[in-house]
Each structure stands twice: as C-alpha cells, then as structure tokens.
Structure 1
C-alpha cells in the first residue's frame, strides 16, 4: 500500500496560513498597464480570504451552510485576478481586443496558465464565481457543414455589483466613461487613417497626371527643348540641368496656352530664354 506524503499544508500544496493569491506574471500598473480601478479591486478582494462573509454569495456558492474551504477561496481569488487582468472596462467582457475591432474571449486553459493552478481547480473556481453572480459565462458554439458543433471559448463578463461590494462602484462608472472616450478617439483615428492615405494617393495621381499632360503637350510642340541639356565631365546630365529642362517644358506649355498664335518653336525659344535668365 502506498501512502501520500504531505510536505506541508494540504495535499494540493495549499497552506492556509500562507495562501498563494496571485498570477504567474505580475500585473502591469501605471501608464500602459491595466486601469487603476481593476488593480484596486484585485487588492481589496484579498479580504475575502480572511473574511469570507465579505462576499456572501461566493461563500455559499457550494450550496452548504459551512464556510467555503480556504483552498477553494484561494483558487477563486486567483481565478478572479486572472479574469480582472483581461477585463475590458467599456463592456466588462473578459478577453483581448483584436486589430479588426473584434474581441477574443479567453479559454479556461489560458486562465489556468495565468494562475499557475491546475485547470480542474480553475474550472471549479469559475463555477463558484458563476453561481455567486460575480462572473457571467455564456457558452458559444458553431455549426459545422456536417451538422456537428464546434465549441468556442465562452464569453465571460464581470458583474458591476462586485465593484460596488468593495466600495468601487462610483469609480468604476467614472473610469468606464473615460475608457469609452479613449475607445471612440482610437476608432476615429483608425477611420481617418485610410482617408488620409486615399487623399495622399489622389494628390499623387493628380500631380502625375499634370506632368504627363505637360509632357504630351511638349511633345506636340516639337520634342525636347534645345540648348538646355548640358552634361558634366562624366557625360551624365546634372541635377541642375534636369530641373532646368523640367521648368522649360512647363513654361513652354504655358506660353502655348497664353499665345495660341505662336508656333511650337516660338514657345520653346521663349521658354528657354526665360529659364536661362532665371538660372543666371
């Protein structure tokens, strides 16, 4: 016969006098971290471990008049910490926003990894939180083409009453309004970004069309301007000559539009003289 050995605390590793309430990775606070009302609630929730009647519905969630066992309280609080870490203030849903504006719900397995507890313990804790009215769990499924169903991570929500029970009801309302404004601002910026890109592309297209029209008009005037193209010692056209040529082409078109009776040579010669005078 084999006997279980208890190295300290309960056989599950729980030590009533030294509970482990927390997450595997520290919660990021301050700028870039989760909202302050959530971290404050997480800290206040620890009272429940030492005073179970701080949340009567959770203390009686197992259907017994006896006080909830300490290891179960520890699991409930750690699970609740993981849930609050990923709670969206605007909707009070638990998950991660996606780039396309959607929302990704979290699985029980993922929450268990956050707490460092076995998945089965987290499942029981989540059941207690649901029966206590603290967390809402809404299962989801998708019908496959063959008529079978595929399960998805359930939608989880946190009750506003939990914040009120620990004196954070007013602060929750205030921070939810701020979060909603931040979300609206972000959505407006995302909507403007494609419009700005479209406007920039439209401007580039208009400028390109104008240059193409100028080139076509100059071609009708008789081809390349004379006396403008010069080369440096290496035989390559310099940047200065390229700019002169561009200005000469545009100016020749302007002369042709302003003087319909002028010939192509007259427009080109007038443009060349004006550009040479400008660059002296």
Structure 2
C-alpha cells in the first residue's frame, strides 16, 4: 500500500503549477515562432466580416430593421463573427495537439518526471491566449467599421465570461478531436464543422427567415443560444432566461465531455 506523506502532498500543488506553466510557455513560444497559423485563423473571420458588411450588409440590414442599413446589420452579426473566430481557432488547437502526438514529443514527455495532464492544460491555456488575441483583433475591426455596442460594465463582464466558457468548450473539444486523429491532416479537418454552426444558426440572419427544417436545427443547435445571449449582453439588454441557461448548459457539457475524452485518449495512447 502506497501512502502520500504530508511533505509530498504539500509539494504536489506547486509542482503541478510549475509543470503547467512550463507547458504554457512552450505553447506561447510556438505561437510566436509560427504566427502564420494564427494569422490565417484570424484572417478568415475578418475577411468574412468585410464581405458580409460591405457586400450584403445594405440589403440584409434593411430586412432586419425597416429603413436600416449596414450599421444595423453590423450590430447584428458581430456576435456571430466572434463565435466564428473561436470556432476557427479550434482548428489550430487540434493541429497543435496532433503534431505533438505524431512527432514523438509526447513520448519524450512521458519519460520525464512531470505532471502528465499539464501537457493538455498547457495546450488549453495557450489556446485561451490565442483566442483572446484573435477576438480582440476581430472586435477591433468591427469597431473600425462603425460597430458601437451599448453594453455596460455588467454586460461586458457577462460577454467576456461567456466567451471564455465558449473558448474552453471549443478548445477541449478540439483537443479531443486532435488526440483522436490519425494524422495532422485529419486533425485539421475535424473541427471545420464547428465553423459552419454560426452560419447554420442565428449568427447572420434570424432563424425565423429559414425554411422549417433548417430553422428547427438552427434553433436547437448549441451556438444559437450562445449567440443570442452574447448579442443581448453587447446590446445592453437582459438575456432571455432560456437562452442564457441553454448557453451555459451547452458550454459546461462540452467542456466536461471534451476534457474527459481528452484525458482518456491521452492516457490510452500511452
């Protein structure tokens, strides 16, 4: 029977934090050393934002608000593009994890006296930093185009908290997809379905304008209540109780499933 001494238990916590910090530093250095992937992941939402606002914004804005225009449409679609940014970044997370699994670095880590889950948490925190930078860029472009949110301090706090939960949910799900992929190429394609969900929800047009079957899917898929809650926070209104509860529930569920699945895949591959 193995017992844990008080000294060992007391030193375990700092060791875990140190290992996680080391893995986070490794992830940040990778982002700095290879910025092309981050630029591509940020570039996709920015290009789509410019296209939707300047090509479609006039017509769709008039459909949203009588006499409306591009400014009205821009105010409507920003939450959708923020979610699209997070979904795009999930591809980078899956690729990074798959590269570690296929290039042998994970085997090296397993021979070292480190807290093994810190490899995954380091990836997760690195993804949060990458997503934060990407979201700031997209929001900055939206502000430059004339977006003016009406959120107060509590609204911004709610929006930031919700985005953090979404980032963690997409990150852990993407890590599970990357760990389960047979190759880096497969990992790069697996999270792409997440990029479709903002389009197949209320991100760019109200669900009421969709055909019946598509409207049913759009109303019940995870991103729609998240986008509606985020839109309410940014416009300074109170989120609907059902939307807010659904958004929180989906985020917590996906985080739990993604985390447990990632831990299982990482352990099983040892």
How would you bin the TM-score normalised by the shorter chain? under 0.3
Scaled by the length of structure 1, what TM-score is found?
A: 0.24
Between 1 and 2, higher relative CO (CA 8 Å, sep ≥ 6) is seen in: 2
Structure with the largest fraction of strand: 1
Scaled by the length of structure 2, what TM-score is found?
A: 0.25
Structure with the largest fraction of helix: 2
